[in-house]
Amino acid sequence: MAQSSHETEIKLEMADAKTARRLLLAAGFRVSRPRVFEVNTVFDTPELSHRQAATLLRVREAGGTGTVTYKGPPVTGRHKSREELEVELADAAAMAAILGRLGFQPTWRYEKYRTEFRQPRRAGIAMLDETPIGVYLELEGTAPWIDRTARRLGFRETDYNTGSYGSLYREWCGRRGRKAGDMVFLAMINQLGSEV
């Protein structure tokens, strides 16, 4: 059965994962899902109609679990808010094959390590994402919860980032004069190694 929701979130850039964990624990958060490696594959039509419409079709593999996710066009203000439909998969590779048969193609792959944190008796969730382009803290919940939590962690509204990992990665590559490919750890290590 599909999980349907309307997600509201922001990203906060962190200096490193250790600092982020320390801030979260000091604010009363506890690990609700231990650190797991994720491989995310974004699918689109040959004409890139999802990218043009600012929607997303993604297959994720994380810790032996697969999910397929559709995200609607975002309403961006102080926070990013959008429809999200998600289904757990028994076989992510089979889902990718089905999408291929339906005319979708993989257009971008990105990896990250994610640790999820929650506060007791609170509805919001903090997700610590360690990516090849940096460490981000994603706060997802109601807009008031996000604002209160960000302030409690020492951030201001000017620190909020509502971009996707795709847009953050393209900006990161643009600042370095690099061609954007997949955002995967091994490729990034090879790319950065040539700069040293």
- CA-to-CA distance for 28 and 72, rounded, in angstroms? 32
| CB contact set of 108 (below 8 Å; sequence gap of 6+) | 41, 42, 166, 182, 183
pLDDT at 149: 97
Beta-bridge mates of residue 69: 58, 86
Task: Report the mean per-residue pLDDT for the chain.
Answer: 92
Closest CA to 39 of 127, 132, 124: 132
pLDDT at 77: 87
- CA-to-CA distance for 118 and 120, rounded, in angstroms? 6
- CA-to-CA distance for 110 and 132, rounded, in angstroms? 9
DSSP β-ladder status, 56-62 and 105-118:
unpaired
pLDDT digits (tens, 9 = 90+) for 14-24: 999 999 999 99
pLDDT digits (tens, 9 = 90+) for 110-124: 999 999 999 988 889
Q: Classify domain 3-193 at the CATH topology level.
A: Hypothetical Protein Pfu-838710-001 (2.40.320)
pLDDT digits (tens, 9 = 90+) for 122-160: 889 999 999 999 999 999 999 999 999 999 999 999 999
Q: What SS3 class is residue 168?
A: helix
Sequence ranges of the domains in the chain? 3-193
User: Is pLDDT at 196 greater than 50 in this prediction?
Assistant: no
Closest CA to 55 of 122, 18, 104: 104
Full-model pTM: 0.90
- Percent of the residues in the chain that have a pLDDT greater than 70, as a whole number: 93
